[in-house]
Amino acid sequence: MLARPTERATWDGGKRVLLAAPRGYCAGVDRAVVAVEKALDLYGSPVYVRKEIVHNKHVVQTLQQRGAVFVDETDAVPEGAHLVFSAHGVSPAVREAAAARSLQTIDATCPLVTKVHKEAVRFASQDARILLIGHTGHEEVEGTAGEAPEHITVVDSPEVADTIEVEDTGNLVWLSQTTLSVDETMETVRRLRVRFPHLQDPPSDDICYATSNRQVAVKKIAPEAELVIVVGSANSSNSVRLAEVALDAGARAAHRVDNAGEVDDAWFEGVTTVGLTSGASVPEVLVQEVLALLADRGYGAVEEVTTAMEDLQFALPTDLRRDLKAAGASPTNAAGRRSLPVTPV
């Protein structure tokens, strides 16, 4: 049985856990996962999903057990079948390939990723050169870059900003992947601006609210924690960033784990305070399992440190809502589960 989170003032100096909030599922992940679940209920198995619907092993395995089939590309999907595009988004070329196979697509691209796609299209239509800050090879970056490949140059890191060759046309703008480290991205922009003083900012932040909020929360707990555990998969950009941000913010050590089974007892040597958080694609059950393990190791006192409250929810993809309505099922995100078992601030 886990201890209930307590007020910070009650700490007696003994072993404890500082539990970051917000953590776990964001609105875009919630929507994407519910979209696959509802598609399976409505159309029956198999429903195909291009790439991992969200970057979390547990989520992918659970949906596979329910009948979802994950594929790398559209040509692995039988003609006419249902195909869900993942939360990370796809390029126009992928949409065209799906249409050519007469696939019935459900677009679970996070609306905050779609916003970046639209910015890319708009700037490209103004003949701008776009510096897209993001990780080469990440699905989101491939999708956004695919909107205007002749106009977009990917900037992978602050170091790349020092050397990248682009024509400074005077119409140069930066955009970014939604799940980056806020601080590192600002450093990349700073270095780019040294070389390209005309560089324009995007009209609004591209790093999404969920990524920013989780980084703020982990920064709050990290200075007091000798060890920070981040629950999240290795290919989850925002989860990996959380471990890096924790170290930058003063944690003595930070480890990312997929689940409680990956926690190493050697990490607890000399540790009084453990910080715990999870990435935006991580179901709360995985955090609760780590809390149970920590309680078993003597870290039963849990203080939840809340730096923001989140209540954003996105409507399900349009085509799915239409079909749910036609079938008399609820077209809302009724199965939506917020990630936080939350204690009031």
Report the catalytic residues.
140
Site for ligand SF4 (CB under 6 A): which residue of 110, 128, 254, 301? 110
* Contact code string over 2-41 relative to ligand SF4, x by CB under 6 A: ------------------------xxxx------------
> Measured between alpha carbons, how far is 328 from 324 in angstroms, rounded to an integer?
6
Q: Binding residue for ligand SF4 (CB under 6 A) from 20, 21, 84, 112? A: 112
Q: Is 238 annotated as a binding residue?
A: yes
- Start-to-end CA distance of the chain, whole Å, equals 23
Q: Which of 131, 172, 210, 228 binds ligand SF4 (CB under 6 A)?
A: 210
Closest to 31 (Cα-Cα) out of 333, 339, 284, 311: 333
Residue 88 CB-density burial (10 A; 0-12 exposed, 13-18 middle, 19+ buried): buried
Nearer to ligand SF4, 18 or 112 (CB): 112
Q: What angle do CA 190, 195, 123 make, to 5 degrees?
A: 80
Shortest separation between residue 179's beta carbon and ligand SF4, angstroms: 5
Q: How far is the CB of 10 from ligand SF4 (least distance, A)?
A: 33
DSSP state of 200: B
**Residue whose token pair is 């989850």:** 236
Q: Is 255 annotated as a binding residue?
A: no
- 58: annotated binding-site residue? no
Q: Which two tokens stand for residue 338?
A: 């917020």
- From residue 165 to residue 184, the character string flagging contacts with ligand SF4 as x (rule: CB under 6 A) and all else as - is -------------xx-----
Residue 45 annotated as binding? no
Q: Are strands 129-133 and 227-231 parallel, antiparallel or unpaired?
A: unpaired
Backbone angles phi, psi at 173, to 5 degrees: -135, 150
Q: Could you give the CA distance from residue 319 to residue 198 in angstroms, rounded to a whole number?
A: 41
Instruction: Confirm or reject binding of residue 221 to ligand SF4 (CB under 6 A).
Output: no
3-state secondary structure of 174: strand
Q: How many CA atoms within 13 Å lie on the side-chain side of 202? A: 25
Residue 281 among known ligand-binding residues: yes
Please tell me the distance from the alpha carbon of residue 17 to that of residue 24, in angstroms, as a whole number. Answer: 17
Q: Which of 155/208 has CB closer to ligand SF4?
A: 208
Q: Is 240 a binder of ligand SF4 (CB under 6 A)?
A: no
| Binding residue (CB under 6 A) for ligand SF4 from 59, 63, 87, 301 | 87
Closer CB to ligand SF4, 137 or 261, in the complex: 137
Q: Contact residues for ligand SF4 (CB under 6 A)?
A: 26-29, 87, 110, 112-113, 178-179, 208, 210-211, 238, 280
Q: Please report, in range form, the residues annotated as the binding site for dimethylallyl diphosphate.
A: 55, 88, 138, 236-238, 281
